């Protein structure tokens, strides 16, 4: 078996179990840690707890459950999140305050602590660093995901491995996404936090499936230090590459999705402006449905860009469409030159790319999403029943 993610990092052991909709995963690794979290005001109990615990800049382990989000559960929910860390701490022989906790699933339901306690005790006995553990761990935290998400970046001096779950309620400022990232790099808490924040900004925060924002988003990164000191800039770029892989996988596995949608905006006055335009285009229902129907209605891309709140001259833009192999021009400096037959052909595969040049600067950014299909309505119309 071949390593695909976290267990390729020295010092990491993991395992997970899934019983129907209810899963539990444990990951053991000691080191410097940082986290990024949802910006939703209705934060889930695990998020409230972790925003406090991560301030220590160190983690010994992570416990995560699926099937219940433990969100909008008040004081009891917060106490239950603490209890989860105590279960993991007791089972692994570590301080509960150094245990990361995350939950995903239905909002407004209380945790089944007896189930979690039993699962935790069982999983703790099976922690291992073999490749099978990576799949068992990520499957344990999946909800509407149709496939696991793994990422692995290796270079001469260090390794970064990560897993994630995420499929719906995906929007800028993170979506229904749990991600656990591990590296053997030796890096202090402050630069690790800065690197993770930048990576999330350029990857996770540029994924849009349906425009909703979850209550439970969390990405935790733990650095064991086994590989020794690293170049911080080199590490930051590698971490971004790792997170980008997960972001693309999440977008491609959007609920009901049949196509990955990628939008790159160039020629913007600032990177933030380019990212804003790209996100607005990605989240447009009209763009998403056109992509699903393989309808080369590229005017919707221009229209969406125009309402993003970024100043540019619509008569100066250029636009291309691509399937990842072939790229065709649609507009050049405001002049329509589209070959709709070729444009439609570029939409037949499982990936559709738009490249938009605003002609208003030198900065660029890319965002990822998916098409909008009938299946999305089927999944979410009966999510709790």
Distance CA 348, CA 130 (A): 39
Distance CA 289, CA 372 (A): 5
**Is pLDDT at 26 greater than 60 in this prediction?**
yes
Q: Are 301 and 354 in contact (CB under 8 A)?
A: yes
Residue 366's CB is within 10 A of a number of other CB atoms, namely 21
CA distance 162 to 154: 12
Question: pLDDT digit string (tens) for 137-149?
Answer: 999 999 888 889 9
pLDDT > 90 in the chain, percent: 82
Asked if residue 183 has pLDDT above 80, the reply is yes
Residue 174's pLDDT is what?
A: 39
Confidence bin at 384 (pLDDT 50/70/90): low
pLDDT above 90 for 378: no
Look at residue 264 in the predicted model and tell me its pLDDT: 98
- Asked if pLDDT for residue 288 goes beyond 80, the answer is yes
3 state SS of 272? helix
The model's confidence at residue 166, banded by pLDDT at 50, 70 and 90, is: confident
- In degrees, to the nearest 5, what angle opens at C-alpha 186 toward C-alphas 181 and 25? 25
Q: Partners of 217 in the beta sheet?
A: none
pTM of the predicted protein model: 0.88
Distance between CA atoms of residues 75 and 288, nearest Å: 40
Reported as type and span, the H/E element at residue 203 is none
170: pLDDT strictly greater than 50: no
270-279: per-residue pLDDT in tens? Answer: 999 999 999 9
Residues β-bridged to residue 99 = 61
Q: Per-residue pLDDT averaged across 24-39, rounded? A: 96
Residues with catalytic annotation?
176
* pLDDT value for 176: 63
Query: pLDDT tens-digit profile of 78-95?
Result: 999 999 999 999 999 999
Specify the pLDDT at position 89: 98
Label residue 212 by pLDDT band (50, 70, 90): low
Query: Is 137 exposed, middle or buried, given 0-12, 13-18 or 19+ CB atoms closer than 10 A?
Result: buried
The pLDDT value given to residue 171: 42
Mean pLDDT of 107-116: 96
- Residue 372: its pLDDT value, please? 82
């Amino acid at each position: 078996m071949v390593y695909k993610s976290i267990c390729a990092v020295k010092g990491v052991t993991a395992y997970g179990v899934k019983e129907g909709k209810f899963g539990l995963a444990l990951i053991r690794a000691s080191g410097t840690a940082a986290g990024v979290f949802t910006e939703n005001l209705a934060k889930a109990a695990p998020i409230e707890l972790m925003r406090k615990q991560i301030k220590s800049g160190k983690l010994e382990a992570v416990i995560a459950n699926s099937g219940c989000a433990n969100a909008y559960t008040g004081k009891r929910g917060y106490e239950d999140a603490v209890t989860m860390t105590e279960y993991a701490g007791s089972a692994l022989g570590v301080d509960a305050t150094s245990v990361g906790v995350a939950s995903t699933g239905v909002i407004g339901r209380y945790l089944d602590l007896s189930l979690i306690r039993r699962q935790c005790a069982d999983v703790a006995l099976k922690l291992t660093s073999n490749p099978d553990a990576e799949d068992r761990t990520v499957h344990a935290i999946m909800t509407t995901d149709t496939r696991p998400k793994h990422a692995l970046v290796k270079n001469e001096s260090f390794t970064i491995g990560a897993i994630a779950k995420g499929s719906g309620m995906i929007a800028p400022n993170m979506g229904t996404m749990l991600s656990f990232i591990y590296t053997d790099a030796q890096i202090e808490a402050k630069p690790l936090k800065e690197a993770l924040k930048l990576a999330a900004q350029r990857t996770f925060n540029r994924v849009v499936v349906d425009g909703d924002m979850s209550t439970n988003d969390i990405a935790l990164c733990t650095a064991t230090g086994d590989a020794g000191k690293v170049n911080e800039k080199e590490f930051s770029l590698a971490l971004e590459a790792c997170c980008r892989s997960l972001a693309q996988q999440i977008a491609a596995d959007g609920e009901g999705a049949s196509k990955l949608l990628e939008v790159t905006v160039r020629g913007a006055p600032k990177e933030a402006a380019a990212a804003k335009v790209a996100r607005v285009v990605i989240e447009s229902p009209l763009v998403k449905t056109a992509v699903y129907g393989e309808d080369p209605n590229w005017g919707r891309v221009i229209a969406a860009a125009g309402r993003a709140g970024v100043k540019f001259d619509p008569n100066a833009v250029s636009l291309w469409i691509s399937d990842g192999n072939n790229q065709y021009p649609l507009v050049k400096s405001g002049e329509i030159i589209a070959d709709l037959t070729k444009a439609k052909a570029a939409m037949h595969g499982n990936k559709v790319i738009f490249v938009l040049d605003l002609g208003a600067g030198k900065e660029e950014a890319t965002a990822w999403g998916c098409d909008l299909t009938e299946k999305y309505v089927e999944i979410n119309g009966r999510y709790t029943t």
